Chain A
């Protein structure tokens, strides 16, 4: 049973731990991780920053201080090596909310969904930069549900809960995997930089019995295009490395494999 959810359990634990460290840092002054997902300080020495947030600031025509700039480059290199959307699958706190949305969808057996194109997120990514240029402020950072969720947990909630709730409702009632899988420009950004994952799900056609369970659980089904056709690893940067396809496969036809093996 646990083996069937090993990655999911690990993933949720990682997300909750990071969120918990941020909360402990703000409320009790624990220095392991201070700040939030936009910019933070690790163990009081290393500054990290969200490369997409910094990119938006650059689009407004300002250059951030060296600390944030170098922090953004470190994060960029980290995810470029590991797979950009590891952030989405393993770090982002909104993943917990949309995860709940997904469970609600299953619990209430909601099958209805609109099907917008997955690549709409790239259009929204371009739009984000465009609006940043026009309004002279980092556009996504001002409406981001990630920031709203984090601030709501630690500081004043204000009406930030409405943004988070709107994502939940959107995911449950309108579009399956709606926000993370279609709209979020940060996910789009990480999809673009994360094509060179060191570890990727690898599909072996010979072992596959075509049960198609992997396609049912995958939040980014388009990345599993080779299932049923030929042996290959996932190539798309849109894979969030959640490992659900590996967990669900009873034939061990999908496994995590190093890029170099």
Chain B
């Protein structure tokens, strides 16, 4: 009898603990708006694999990377960076990714044919707030464009007529999500009080087109099947006039 009571007590304790623990964990592992080091797997996989050892943070020569503390709204012990404070300087030898023992930072994701290439990094995506970016007001500012490590690829300048004055041009930055690495040098360089170009996690900033649409002018690797030929209507028997005049 005592054994059974003890067993029930312990089982009850474990269920209580388990429920509280799961509840805490589900809140804590929520996809935070957080930028990961280069080569980081998609957020969910990253959270699963990261051992929280901090070796990427130690390897970072610019003190860009930090380790999240408990209770600061980020998954505790995982690495992140805040571009406005210190962007990723895009080291050619990517010491942070190479240092990762767990595979949460994937060397393959940032190399082609076994050679490291930091330009393949996809840490995030820079987004421009056109209403506060002074270049879109007509002022001449290209700070983000000049500082971009992939200048003229990740950030290009768009030239268009200022209809308000009728005699000036806008020279304004545009980000290409195909090239942007999310390093955040642009966010750091922005002259505004709060940056008008800022890096968001890619899963938050990117759309995804419906697979109904294909770019016919690009090789997508998908062989578009020809549409089935429209079903032929059976020709109405007899003369058209007879059909129209039927019933009269």
Given contacts A155-B67, A155-B69, contact A141 B51 (CB under 8 A): yes
B54 to chain A, nearest CB (A): 6
36-94 of chain B: CB within 8 A of chain A: 44-45, 47-49, 51-55, 57-58, 66-72, 75-77
Which residue of A64, A120, A134, A137 contacts B103 across the interface (Cβ within 8 Å)?
A64
Establish whether residues B54 and A120, one from each chain, have CB atoms under 8 Å apart when the complex forms. Answer: no
Q: In whole angstroms, how far apart are the Cα atoms of A36 and B48 in the complex?
A: 18
Is A88 interfacial (CB-CB < 8 Å)?
Answer: no
Q: Which residues of A contact B22 (CB under 8 A)?
A: 131, 134-135
Complex CA gap A31/B198 in Å reads: 36
Any B CB within 8 A of the CB of A214: no
A193 on interface, CB distance cutoff 8 Å = no
CB distance from B91 to the nearest CB of A (A): 16
Please, how many residues of chain A have a CB less than 8 angstroms from a CB on the other chain? 54
A153 to chain B, nearest CB (A): 11
Asked if A38 meets B51 with Cβ closer than 8 Å, knowing A62-B45, A120-B10, A142-B75, the reply is: yes
Question: Which residues from chain B contact A143 at a C-beta distance below 8 Å?
Answer: 21, 24
Instruction: Point out the residue from A124, A136, A159 that lies within 8 Å of B69, measured CB to CB.
Output: A159
A215 to B55, CA, bound (A): 42
Cβ-defined contact, B69 with A160, below 8 A: yes
Q: Is A60 an interface residue (CB 8 A)?
A: yes
Q: How many B residues touch the partner, as a band?
A: 35 or more
Inter-chain contacts of A57 with B (CB < 8 A): 48-49, 51, 102
| CB pair A135 B67 closer than 8 Å | no
B101 near A123: Cβ-Cβ < 8 Å = no
Q: How far is the CA of A162 from the CA of B48 in the complex (A)?
A: 24
Of residues 121 to 136 in B, which have CB atoms within 8 Å of A's CB atoms?
A: none
**CB-based contact A62/B17 at 8 Å:** no
The 8 A CB mask of A132-155 against B (1 = contact, 0 = none) is: 001111110111000110011011
Q: A65-B101, A71-B101, A139-B25 are in contact. Are A155 and B51 (CB under 8 A)?
A: no
Interface code A85-129, partner B: CB below 8 Å = 1, 0 otherwise?
A: 000000000000000000000000000000001001001101100
Q: List 8 A-B contacts (CB under 8 A).
A: A38-B51, A61-B48, A117-B6, A117-B10, A137-B29, A142-B76, A155-B67, A159-B72
With A64-B103, A151-B70, A151-B76 given, name 15 new contacts (CB 8 A).
Answer: A26-B54, A38-B51, A39-B53, A49-B102, A62-B48, A65-B103, A71-B101, A137-B25, A142-B75, A148-B70, A156-B67, A160-B69, A160-B71, A162-B71, A163-B70
> Which residues of B approach A to under 8 Å, CB–CB?
6, 10, 13-14, 17-18, 21-22, 24-26, 28-29, 44-45, 47-49, 51-55, 57-58, 66-72, 75-77, 99-103
